[in-house]
Structure 1
Amino acid sequence: MRAATESRTTASALSPQRRRADLRRLGEEEYDVVVIGGGVTGAGAAVDAASRGLRVALVEARDFAAGTSSRSSKLIHGGLRYLEQFEFGLVHEALTERGLLATRLAPHLVRPVPFLVPLAAPPGVRGWPARVGRRAYYGAGLALYDAFATAFGSGRGMPVHRHLSRGAARRLMPSLRPDVLTGAIRYFDAQMDDARMVVALARTAASLGATVLTSVRATGIDRTAREVTGVRVRDVETGVDYAVRARTVVAATGVWSDDISGLLRDIGVRPGLRVRASKGVHLVVPRSAISGTAGLILRTPRSVLFVIPWGGHWIIGTTDTDWTFDRERPAATARDIAYLLDQVNPVLDRPLTTDDIEGVYAGLRPLLSGDSEATSALSRRHAVVEPMLGLLLVAGGKYTTYRVMAADVIDRAARRLHRPVPASRTDQLPLLGADGYAAAWRDRADLARRYEVSVGVVEHLLERYGATTPDLLRMVVGDPTLGLPLPGAPEYLGAEVAYAAAAEGALHLDDVLTRRTRIGIETGHRGLATAEAAAELMGGVLGWDASARAREVACYRSRVDAERRSQTMPDDAAADAVRRTVADVRTPAGNPGDG
């Protein structure tokens, strides 16, 4: 078992040497499937195709999860609010996927998290009928939620819901104001680090033989008549172009689907679907700002609001508004921040202020567009269309159901190959780090003794890297300085930065501080106090000289400064204008707005 795990880990390593080899493969091989887009759906599609024995390439213009897939609420959930929209099939599908991820596919990354649904009588209404009515209403919904999770033997992986008195609710969440609370219902969903999940998917695809590349942008579609024969791409790091031969091209580009639609319109083809971008903003505050051990789900005039425990922090979100500006740099505004504080503060005994905020992030949800629906009412179902032979677009859906979307689009691709292709088996395929995780967690004290580190360090690594944790511990043995905490982010080790560059495909400082770790949103300095040390560690792996290190730090500082200034702006247009002033580190010339 150990030898097999180590072999798979080696095959999955997205090292600088692997990147050079994969770039050569792009120009030499003919692929059954080329996937454009390195978010959760694209990475999931690459895993699905590679696990069926297909020749696969995955290309991403920026970094894994650089868009929507790193800026979510960090939840794997069924979508409790979709029950009210009678989306029963979507809820059951999502809860089935939640069970698979928590118990079989990624137990090292997905774990239960408790939530309270606070119960309060409507304003002006008193007495037990109001209390009983609201408890019965929400209780019935959560009973249905639990029932969907266990239907057809799919496996829940989560405890059932439980009704609580006001006293019991406040023991779990002492920060809840007693005068707005008559009781609560506790239920469970699942939590994960969304960006790390995508990295695990990408490395799993690589371990199965896929060509996997970031900083490679699709620039055109090659065709014969109305049939796709390949795709043209550019290595953003060097400016070198490649013509990639492919039997099928899958575009899993989320809110960037309009970019693919633009390429199609250039050759006179209608794309067949429209994607609407909905901006979701989240705040990160320290755990000390709110006293409690469970999350909250609150009803708002527009949708719902989550208060989510996140290690030593809380995540509060989200907003749900149309976004029509730069999709690569969605910006939170002062109005967004004020809205979130206004929604959460009425239930807290100590209201939060902007001084409590450690981090802010904004992401865009790709929603299948209707004509006049508000974004919060748009369905989260997905669609697969084939606007021309051999080009498949997949869009919509939600993070939790990425595997279903991936299987659907690869099913369509497989039918074009005119040879037997196995059915999807990703419901049985553990992601990298899952195999051996349970045993490693059980024996974590032994692992700590073997590598002469604390049990706390081992637990931290296991919950981020699973069974690949010994890779990082061996790095520390080889260079004990990598076992030291990072400046300004003591919960992270130097080894995690070096490992991100050596094995996880990180090419730039922002990749590590924003996605491989969450230092950029978990610290009041937004990663600035860590940037120089992290650049030194990355540079040692990637061969950066002093000038390259200085450029990386300067670009990161500029991005953080622009984010902070945008969060003081009154509206989206002003915030977007601030964000657009920042040079993109992923261009050889570093031109503003390129990317």
Structure 2
Amino acid sequence: MARSIILYDLKDKEVDVLVIGGGITGAGIALDAASRGLSTALVDMQDFAAGTSSRSTKLVHGGLRYLKQFEVKMVSEVGKERAIVYENGPHVTTPEWMLLPIYKGGTFGKYTTSMGLRVYDFLAGVKKSERRKMLDASTTLEKEPLLKKEGLKGSGYYVEYRTDDARLTIEVIKKAVEFGARAVNYTKAVDFLFENKKINGVKVVDQLTGKAFNLYAKKIVNATGPWVDFVRRYDLSRNGKTLKLTKGVHIVIDQKRFPLKQAIYYDTPDNRMVFAIPRDGKTYVGTTDTFYEDDLANPLITNSDRDYLLQTINHMFPTIQITSEDIESSWSGLRPLIHEEGKHPSEISRKDEIWVSDSGLITIAGGKLTGYRKMAETVVDLIGSSLKKEIGKKIPSCRTKRIAISGGDIHDLDRFIEEQVSHAQKFGLTKEEVRILAKQYGTNLEKVFSILEENSHLNKYQLPKNLFGALIYCIEHEMVVKPSDFFIRRTGALYFNLNQVEQSKEKVLNFMSNYYKWSLKETELNKKELEQQLKNAKTSY
């Protein structure tokens, strides 16, 4: 509700740092900068996390496969960051034991897997309770009976962390706002402003109203992921490396059809690696890795993408024989990688790089979701040393290692959920509904309960109470302005609970239309956009 007020307050005023891009990288930079006392603003032309940061494999993982490419420093840094991401947001990140099956003639041998995981434990500083175990074939099949038995020699067993990538991003942005940052979605940077050939501001256009504003900043960061090179076109002194985009595809299957008990990281007949992960009654599988050059905002799944993943599933889990008709939903995301001539998509390094153009524009590209906090620290350190030289302003060192993100101040999630269940009885919520809400909103669940208590008179649309409370909370505290924001990036329902979306989409649309006082035209546009997103999610079958 405060979008226009925030933009008006920022208009023609100078902040210390302006971040373009509201994915996990931009969110991390905004939090780091704001927590060090820098006045900070963040804009995104779409919704927060609408690009890569809602379309990943949804793992905060340490990059085990990068050991094969001898990227030891990356494995060490990213591996250690996994635990920090988890500790700062335990409601949106969960430890997940991962099974790495070893087959005769496969990518990984028993000895190399054992040594690789041991080195991984050492480099990543894995705590004792989560260190790797080596399992024989029979124990492996006990863990996951659906695995192919032929040629199975055993497995490695180690911990990764499963996350909700979009919710992680939103919670980081909300924490930045708690520290004074101002963040606005659907606000597109359309040009840079210059003074003496140095960038000192950005012209932005509110995508909902069409109004243009000039925003000024001492330092401007381009953290737009797949759009990095596009934004750099506005920079008169464009230089540095370019991006190469690769596409990753994921498909979702109901557990009644694919009853996977255990998360699996398996190699394919063409020597790639794919994840199969159980989540809330579904199993999702991904990812692919192919070069991509089409529509950045809507990367779609092709028949060959779909068929490739189905072949890998049926090769590794031969008794279930999944077909395209079994796919409930899907998503596709883009990885912005630093271009390396002549390399296959899966061989290009996932490391991040930062460069500063002659105009002063700071660009960050590449990197992994897991390393977002460290990437942000590096960018803000760079900003700090630059501000010290230019205006004598000294900023404190990074604090985010020990800052819980919004909703993340929880020491024991299971205990927290149990405590909230009794509180939720008066609203008629089930334990499962409370569990899902707690994993989405953490300690902010108490605000959801307050909303249910204070706004029951508004629920004339007869929305389920858990959905009703979440919707108002997301409108009032998470800048949801479209139904697709709510169903995709605030709840993940469009990927993992399509039935809920189908059953409640008209009610949510009508509620939002009334709440925001949309015209008939605005209501119809939002309805069409949601229907298109539903269609995109179903393109796999």
For 1:48 and 1:307, the matched residues in 2 are separated by 33
Deviation at 1:277, TM superposition (A): 0.6
2:407 equivalent among 433, 437, 443: 433
Q: Shift in Å at residue 513 of structure 1? A: 1.3
Find the residue that maps to 2:252 and give its secondary structure. strand
Q: Matches of 1:440 and 1:116 in 2, distance apart?
A: 24
The separation in 2 between residues aligned to 1:409 and 1:345, in whole angstroms, is: 44
Alignment of structure 1 residues 464-503 onto 2, 5 Å:
464-480=440-456, 493-503=467-477
SS in 2 for 1:340: helix
Equivalent pair of 1:96/1:156 in contact (CA under 8 Å): no
Question: What displacement does 1:102 show?
Answer: 1.6
Whole-angstrom distance in 2 between the partners of 1:188 and 1:281: 23
Residue number in structure 1 paired with 2:287 = 318
Q: How does 1:446-525 map to 2 (within 5 A)?
A: 446-452=419-425, 453-480=429-456, 493-524=467-498
Stretch moving more, 238-247 or 457-466: 457-466
The worse-fitting range, judged by mean Cα deviation, of 160-169 and 504-513 is 160-169
* Aligned pairs for 1:569-588 within 5 A: none
Q: State how 1:225-240 maps to structure 2 within 5 Å.
A: 225-240=196-211
Letter in 2 for 1:274: T
Alignment of 1:52-131 (within 5 A): 52-103=36-87, 105-122=88-105
Q: 1:480 deviation in Å? A: 4.5
Q: Which amino acid aligns with 1:413?
A: I
**Cα offset, 1:446, TM superposition:** 3.5
Are 1:316 and 1:340, in contact at CA under 8 Å, matched by a contact in 2?
A: yes
- Residue 20 of structure 1: how far off its partner (Å): 2.6
* Cα deviation, residue 559, structure 1: 3.8
The 1:54/1:261 distance shift into structure 2, 3 A limit, reads: same
Deviations 1:495-518 (A, max 9, x none): 222222121111111111111111
How big is each residue's C-alpha offset from its partner over 1:269-289, in whole Å with a ceiling of 9 and x where there is no partner?
123121111000001111222
Residues paired across the two proteins, number: 532
Distance, in Å, in 2 between the alignment partners of 1:214 and 1:21 is 13
> Which residue identity is paired with 1:109?
V
| Paired amino acid for 1:340 | L
Q: Where does residue 355 of structure 2 map in the other structure?
A: 385
Looking at structure 2, the residues matched to 562 and 555 of structure 1 have their Cα atoms a distance apart, in angstroms, of: 11
Deviates more, 1:403-412 or 1:526-535: 526-535
Match of 1:220 in 2: 191
Q: Distance in 2 between matches of 1:203 and 1:484?
A: 29
Q: Which stretch shifts more, 88-97 or 552-561?
A: 552-561
Counterpart of 2:248 in structure 1 is 280
Return the alpha-carbon distance in structure 1 between the equivalents of residues 351 and 413 of structure 2.
37
Cα distance in 2 for partners of 1:122, 1:492 equals 49
Query: Partners in 2 of 1:311 and 1:158 — Cα distance?
Result: 25
Secondary structure of 1:527's partner? helix
Alpha carbons of structure 1 residues 249 and 552: separation in structure 2 relative to 1, 3 Å: same
The reply on whether 1:335 has 2:304 as its aligned counterpart is: yes
Contact 2:19/2:26 (<8 A) preserved: yes
Within-5 A mapping of 1:526-565: 527-544=501-518, 547-561=521-535, 564=538
**Is the 1:102–1:157 contact (alpha carbons within 8 Å) kept by the matching residues of 2?**
no
Question: By how many angstroms is 1:111 displaced?
Answer: 1.1
* Corresponding residue SS for 1:167: helix
Contact 1:486–1:492 (CA<8 Å) still a contact in 2?
Answer: no
Q: Report what 1:373 is aligned to.
A: 343
Query: Which residues of structure 2 form unaligned runs of 5+?
Result: none
Deviation sequence 1:382-431 (CA, Å, 0-9, x none): 11111124310011111100111111111111222231111111112111
Which residue in 2 is equivalent to 1:39?
23
Output the amino acid matched with 1:69: S
8 Å Cα contact 1:78/1:98 also seen in 2: yes
Deviations 1:194-221 (A, max 9, x none): 0000100111111111111001000111
Q: 2 CA distance for matches of 1:510 and 1:401?
A: 27
- 1:539 deviation in Å? 3.1
In structure 1, distance between residues paired with 2:277 and 2:233? 38
Secondary structure of 1:557's aligned partner: helix
Q: Choose from 259, 262, 273 the match for 1:294.
A: 262
After superposition, the C-alpha distances for 1:16-75 in whole angstroms (9 at most, x for unaligned) are 1x3232111221421111000000000110001000100110000001110001000000
1:426-475 Cα distance to aligned partner (Å, 9 max, x none): 1121111112x226742433432234243333222221111111111112
Separation in 2 of the partners of 1:145 and 1:485?
52
Q: 2:114 aligns with which of 139, 164, 189?
A: 139
Q: 1:454 and 1:561 mapped to 2: Cα distance?
A: 31
Distance 2:523 2:448 in 1: 23
Aligned partner (choices 181, 191, 195) of residue 162 of structure 2: 191
Conserved? CA contact 2:229–2:243, under 8 Å = yes
Rate the CA distance shift 1:263–1:110 in 2: closer, same or farther, 3 A.
Answer: same
Instruction: Rate the CA distance shift 1:395–1:334 in 2: closer, same or farther, 3 A.
Output: same
% identity of equivalent residues:
30
Distance 1:206 1:304 in 2: 38
Asked if 2 retains the 8 angstrom alpha-carbon contact of 1:174 and 1:291, the reply is no
Report if aligned partners of 2:437, 2:466 keep a CA contact under 8 Å in 1.
no
Instruction: State whether residues 482 and 494 of structure 1, in contact with CA within 8 Å, keep that contact through their aligned partners in structure 2.
Output: no
CA deviations over 1:257-279 (Å, ceiling 9, x no partner) = 11122112xx3x12312111100
Distance in 1, matches of 2:303 and 2:481, equals 32
Whether the aligned pair in 2 keeps the contact of 1:380 and 1:397 (CA below 8 Å) is: yes
TM-score for both structures, normalised by structure 1? 0.85
Q: How many angstroms apart in 2 are the aligned matches of 1:335 and 1:443?
A: 44
| 1: CA distance, partners of 2:128 / 2:232 | 40
How many angstroms does 1:290 deviate by?
2.6
4+ long deviations beyond 4 Å: 480-487, 562-565
CA deviation string 1:520-563 (max 9, x = no partner): 12245693443212212333443335553333222221343356
Closer, same or farther in 2 for the Cα pair 1:440/1:321, shift >3 Å? closer
Tell me how far apart the structure 2 counterparts of residues 358 and 486 of structure 1 sit (CA, whole Å).
26
Measure how far apart 1:331 and its partner are.
1.0
SS, match of residue 91 in structure 2: coil
Alpha-carbon distance in structure 2 between the residues aligned to 1:250 and 1:61:
15
Q: Check conservation: 1:173, 1:291, Cα contact below 8 A.
A: no
